[in-house]
A = this chain, B = another copy of it.
């Protein structure tokens, strides 16, 4: 299994990341060798993560996804889905009904990312207050400095 780290073991996390960074740096951040920039770019892709999470509840059709994530444009929805499909995270199945319907579902690979993703979401929920507070502080002192 990939994740050997226990919750709370911050030193391990730090060591792992520092070491990986050295390796990437040594290879000049070659994209084929740097999973962060190759993989995590998509994680923050604004839509892809949201769709993976939406699909945790089960397979969904194009229109259902569109309704589930209200403010996504069709174009970006298609693009995000294609991207996830290409990366093997979701599979696309067309049913020959009239009009044809298309169903998207998580693959095992797509399901396997849910776990680290859930950790990150938990972190985000736990620390969101801190972040908003930090922002408020920053904006306040920023405004004070500008005045």
Interface residues of A, Cβ cutoff 8 Å to B = 1-5, 7-10, 12-14, 16-18, 20-21, 25, 28-29, 32, 35-46, 49-50, 53-54, 56-57, 68-71, 85-89, 109, 111-128, 130-135, 137-139
- Find out whether the CB atom of B3 lies under 8 angstroms from the CB atom of A124: no
Stoichiometry, as copies per complex, reads 2
Residue of B nearest to A109 (CB): B130
- Find out whether the CB atom of A85 lies under 8 angstroms from the CB atom of B118: no
User: What's the nearest-Cβ distance from chain B to residue A119, in Å?
Assistant: 4
Question: Complex Cα distance A135/B119, Å?
Answer: 26
Known: A39-B131, A88-B131, A113-B127. A70 touches B138 (CB 8 A): no
